[in-house]
Amino acid sequence: MSTPATPPTLPAAPPQVIPADTVYAALGEPTRRRILQILSDGQPRTAGVLAGMVSKRLDATLKHLVGLRKAALVITAGNTVDGRRQLYLLNPVIPVKPSAAGGRELDFGYCLMRC
């Protein structure tokens, strides 16, 4: 008697890659880079908190957050404390690794951003 054949295994799905032009356009603005650096610690924040951290008015910060959302670099989540506000987080498809210099690195697959 022969043993039954094992079913073929499917390869793991490739990680989602955000197009390079989209990432470079978003990273070209210093305020957007700063927002990504802040969110790289994994803590969700409201737009008001981020505005204070990047020293910009709320409306200017929201404009940058909209651009980062369109680029799929930032996602939103509901705020359990205040349902009227959204929380902003770094997109989980972007790996964040410890940097040799002691900070963090965001790995986009074709470039690294050191924080």
Q: Which of 12-16, 26-30, 52-56, 72-76 has the lowest mean pLDDT?
A: 12-16
pLDDT at 16 over 80: no
Contacting residues for 27 by C-beta, under 8 A, at least 6 apart: 33, 36, 113
Q: Which pLDDT score, from 0 to 100, does residue 46 have?
A: 95
Helices first, then strands: H and E counts in the chain: 4, 5
Q: Which domains does the chain have, with CATH numbers?
A: 20-114 (1.10.10.10)
Give the tens place of pLDDT for each residue, 59-103. Answer: 999 999 999 999 999 999 988 888 788 999 999 999 999 988 888
Do 43 and 36 meet the contact criterion of CB atoms below 8 Å apart?
no
pLDDT for 13 equals: 47
Measured distance CA(44)–CA(57) in Å, rounded: 19
Q: For residue range 44-65, what is the model confidence (pLDDT) as tens digits?
A: 999 999 999 999 999 999 999 9
Split at pLDDT 50, 70, 90, the class of 39 is very high
Q: pTM for the whole thing?
A: 0.82
Integer angstrom CA distances of residue 86 from 30, 33, 36, 47, 82: 23, 20, 16, 8, 8
